[in-house]
Amino acid sequence: MRPFTYERAAGVGEAVKRAAETPGARFIAGGTNLLDLMKLHIETPTHLIDVGRLPLSQIEPTAEGGLRIGAMASNSQVAGEETVKRRYPVLARAILAGGSQQLRNKASVGGNLLQRTRCAYFYDTTKPCNKRRPGSGCGALEGLNRNSAILGQSTACIATHPSDMAVALAALNAVVETALPDGTAGRLPVLDLHRLPGDTPHIETALAPGELITAVVLPPPPEGGQVYRKARDRASYAGGLASVAVVGGRIALGAVAHKPWRAEKAEAALAAGAAPAEAMAAELAEARDNGRNGFKIALTARLGAAALAEASGSTP
């Protein structure tokens, strides 16, 4: 790791203020993704602000009948919480599909949302990557892109967002609450948190410099079944090749785009009476094959159709 200084934040206000005024500063909570990347010199912060002990780990009901999950709650804490298991099983299932128990015990909700891509070219510092080194090119475009994005790519980046949890949150219409360095609070739908790559794949979120995620708010769950399905190379402890979260009539896809991908075309087709397979075909009509990832189009179509069938109670 490159040298850095470290401080433990005394409060939310102080943390965001310090982050905004300190060049090269990064927040650290669980650290499971950031420290991995720091060891590889992919992330090189010069100052770490530890927000892991801030009093932001409560999980509590909201006045609207939903649930507010503090950003520092561990992934394990969320997946094991009674209300989550009972009313938001898609969220518990998505979290449990990611990482190992050791990682879930340490990883925070906020950190899970902000984890970086697992694209091999992002990880290999000898290779070009517009996300790691803007302007250097994309090694994956014509390289080993078996697990690259099939939706929403650009010619600058075909990386995917690796989170399982975020896919469930996208289908649940979750809202992210933040604290800003000017002392104000922010709110944005989780669907607006992450960006598509465009020409600036190194800018991954809509967060301002120093802005800290403080909570994720779930609205009351809609009627209908909740399902999370994930396809991957190993039965456990592996990133997804494709995943799908179904919540009532809402569908979100994971591991197929630079952000959790809300399948609005499929949702519209379903609402108009389409069968699950037809709805998924509508969503994936513009999916792109970069050479080795074409199989993910068929995989996502089948996974989505199976999840929709399971959520509606018919045979998956």
Partner 1 sequence: MQATITVNGEPRTLDLDPRTTLLDLLRERLGLTGTKKGCDHGQCGACTVLVNGVRINSCLSLAVMHDGDEVTTIEGLGTPERLHPVQKAFLEHDAFQCGYCTPGQICSAAALLKELEAGWPSQETADLTAPLAVTDDELRERMSGNICRCSAYPQIIAAIKDVLGETA
Q: Which residues are at the interface with partner 1 (CB under 8 A)?
A: 1, 3-6, 8, 28, 31-32, 35-36, 39, 48, 50, 52, 76, 79-80, 85-86, 89, 92-93, 96-97, 99-103, 105-106, 236-237
Q: Which is nearer to partner 1, 176 or 255 (CB)?
A: 255
d(CA 109, CA 308): 26
Q: What DSSP letter does each residue of the chain carry, written as one string? A: ----EEEE-SSHHHHHHHHHHSTTEEEESS-TTHHHHHHTTSS--SEEEE-TTSS---EEE-TTS-EEEETTSBHHHHHT-HHHHHH-HHHHHHHHTSS-HHHHHH-BHHHHHTPPP--HHHH-TTS-BTTTSTTS-BSSTTSS-TTS-SSS--SS-------SHHHHHHHTT-EEEEE-TTS-EEEEEHHHHB---TT-TT--BSPPTT-EEEEEEEPPPPSS-EEEEEEESSSSS--EEEEEEEETTEEEEESSSSS-EE-HHHHHHHHTT--HHHHHHHHGGG----SS-THHHHHHHHHHHHHHHHHTTS--
Q: Which is nearer to partner 1, 96 or 176 (CB)?
A: 96
Q: Which is nearer to partner 1, 31 or 224 (CB)?
A: 31
Residue 85 CB, nearest approach to partner 1 (Å): 4
Q: Which is nearer to partner 1, 151 or 169 (CB)?
A: 169
Q: Which is nearer to partner 1, 29 or 253 (CB)?
A: 29
Residue 8 CB, nearest approach to partner 1 (Å): 7
Residue 109 CB, nearest approach to partner 1 (Å): 16
Q: Which is nearer to partner 1, 23 or 273 (CB)?
A: 23
Residue 256 CB, nearest approach to partner 1 (Å): 20
Q: Which is nearer to partner 1, 62 or 102 (CB)?
A: 102
Residue 104 CB, nearest approach to partner 1 (Å): 9
Residue 121 CB, nearest approach to partner 1 (Å): 17
Residue 115 CB, nearest approach to partner 1 (Å): 12
